[in-house]
Amino acid sequence: MLSKTVAELAIALANKDVSSVELTQAYLDRIAQLNPTLNAYVTTTPDQALAQAAAADALRAAGKAGPLTGIPIAHKDIFCTRDVLTACGSRMLANFTAPYDACVVERLQAAGAVMLGKTNMDEFAMGSSNETSHFGPVQNPWDQTRVPGGSSGGSAAAVAADLCAMATGTDTGGSIRQPASFCGITGLKPTYGRVSRWGMIAFASSLDQAGPLSKSAEDAALMMNVIAGADARDSTCLDIPAEDFTAQLNQPLTGLRIGLPREHFSDGLSTQVQEILQLAISKLESLGATFRDIDLPNNHLSVPAYYVIAPAEASANLSRFDGARFGYRCENPVNLEDMYKRSRGEGFGDEVKRRIMVGTYALSAGYYDAYYKKAQKIRRLIKEDFDTAFHDVDLILGPTSPHTAFKLGEKNSDPVTMYLEDIYTIAVNLAGLPGISLPAGLLNGLPIGMQLVGPALSESRLLNVAHQFQLHTDWHTQRPEV
């Protein structure tokens, strides 16, 4: 039962094969059994979950159930949850109970979803392996000596290990797609502005976007139907009409034109991953898609530009953590400056401090033009590469990550090595585009994800292609033995 998709669980609930209370209790039991080793959750909320489940069952009995009523889910610990710990992977917020719910949390709750708890993550979403978390690394359910990816590593591991039906995540440079790839699940990063950032602890505000981590593209569409849409409280949230993301799922792929970026299939990519992607390409061809090579000539500049823009925005966003009004305060500060410096020095981990310093440097007098302004110009070149490509193709396909999940500790010695992990995903955030990662195969028993990228607001098309692929393959139904 616990390995079922949300769509399948919704049918089981509707048929009264199971109640939401029974389902919620079963997930809670599995969490109690497996989480001590996997460390996917940092907080569980059993009492609240069972109360929400009972309320969902009552709604259903009253004939008022929607598609997500009674479905047990998990939230990345970056989303504020009223009166529930919201630590964002940081010592700085280790005792912070948020005074309000994030828009995403609020909407899923209103749709009847049950919150099982909050998932582990890289500190302030800064990382690609979940190893920068103050609460310790998450283990990849496929191989517990390996990372789950990051920064939404806890959410990805929880979905893969059947510790929830689906989960929320956020993606600033690949933080939904890369862990989805490493854990063999589906992860969608929506168009910038599709989903409200209200109540989502800010890392890089021009790049951050929330989205689903799920067991299928269909489930991702079901979550998108709830979380997407205008919100006046986030001034960057797009004010566009609501969309039914499930409406196009069954559309045939005939005539679909997909581009293969030469830059994504070059030296950095192993032949084994190439072979797996080639099989996926053949499958999509058999379903009616045509392929052609395209160029994204400035892709190699995406990591450098990102590591100016994201840290610059982070250095401003994280200035709010000063020990004065909430969060960690150092012991016995001798004066105000000492309080700021030691609260931040002790409250933030090494990677967060590094990025704040890089951002501070890039924005400081005399360096602004050479770094920040230059990066913003490169950002436009990257965006224009995509615009040009989408003249000739509908979507772009490539690997999500250069390889399968790596070993815990393997890439910790040099930050730049870790940054290059996101070489295929970062450009998508810089251009504000939607991207989805879905399981495309296994290599030595570990999942490989493929990424599809589309023009702005093309989520329905991405989900359509992913769903059709999943109707004709079974990679997304493979589960690790935990």
Partner 1 sequence: MALNNTDVEKIAHLARLQISESDTLEVAQRISNILTMIDQMQNVDTSQVTPMAHPFDASQRLRPDVVTETDQRDYFQKLAPATQDGLYLVPKVIE
Site residues, partner 1 (CB under 8 A): 96-97, 99, 192-193, 206, 232, 235-236, 239, 298, 300-301, 303-305, 307-308, 315, 319, 322-326, 329, 333-342, 344-346, 348, 353-354, 356-358, 360-361, 364, 370-371, 373-381, 383, 414-416, 419, 430-433, 456
Token pair in block for residue 81: 């949850």
Question: What distance in Å separates the CA atoms of residue 479 and residue 140, rounded to the nearest whole number?
Answer: 12
Q: To the nearest whole angstrom, how small is the minimum distance from the Cβ of residue 146 to partner 1?
A: 24
Nearer Cβ to partner 1, position 57 or 351? 351
| Residue from 441, 128, 455 nearest 282 by CA | 441
Catalytic member of 19, 20, 76, 133: 76
302 is catalytic: no
Q: Is the dihedral of CA 408, 412, 417, 420 positive or negative?
A: positive
Question: What distance in Å separates the CA atoms of residue 200 and residue 246, rounded to the nearest whole number?
Answer: 25
Nearer Cβ to partner 1, position 115 or 431? 431
Q: To the nearest whole angstrom, how small is the minimum distance from the Cβ of residue 381 to partner 1?
A: 6
In the β-sheet with 210-214, what is the strand arrangement from edge to edge? 41-44, 114-119, 72-76, 166-170, 210-214, 186-189, 435-443, 446-453, 395-399, 257-261, 290-294
Q: To the nearest whole angstrom, how small is the minimum distance from the Cβ of residue 187 to partner 1?
A: 19
Instruction: Outline where DSSP puts E strands in 199-289.
Output: 210-214, 257-261
Question: What distance in Å separates the CA atoms of residue 379 and residue 363, rounded to the nearest whole number?
Answer: 17
Distances (CA, A) of 32 to 19, 131, 386, 481: 20, 22, 45, 17
Distances (CA, A) of 430 to 139, 172, 240, 321, 351: 29, 9, 21, 26, 21
Catalytic member of 90, 129, 133, 151: 151
Q: To the nearest whole angstrom, how small is the minimum distance from the Cβ of residue 106 to partner 1?
A: 16
Question: What distance in Å separates the CA atoms of residue 367 and residue 363, rounded to the nearest whole number?
Answer: 6
Catalytic member of 90, 152, 175, 458: 175
| Residue 30 C-alpha from the chain's centroid | 23
175 is catalytic: yes
DSSP 8-state secondary structure symbol assigned to residue 17: S
Token pair in block for residue 286: 């058999």
Q: To the nearest whole angstrom, how small is the minimum distance from the Cβ of residue 362 to partner 1?
A: 8
Nearer Cβ to partner 1, position 345 or 409? 345
Nearer Cβ to partner 1, position 223 or 308? 308
Q: To the nearest whole angstrom, how small is the minimum distance from the Cβ of residue 387 to partner 1?
A: 11
Catalytic residues: 76, 151, 175
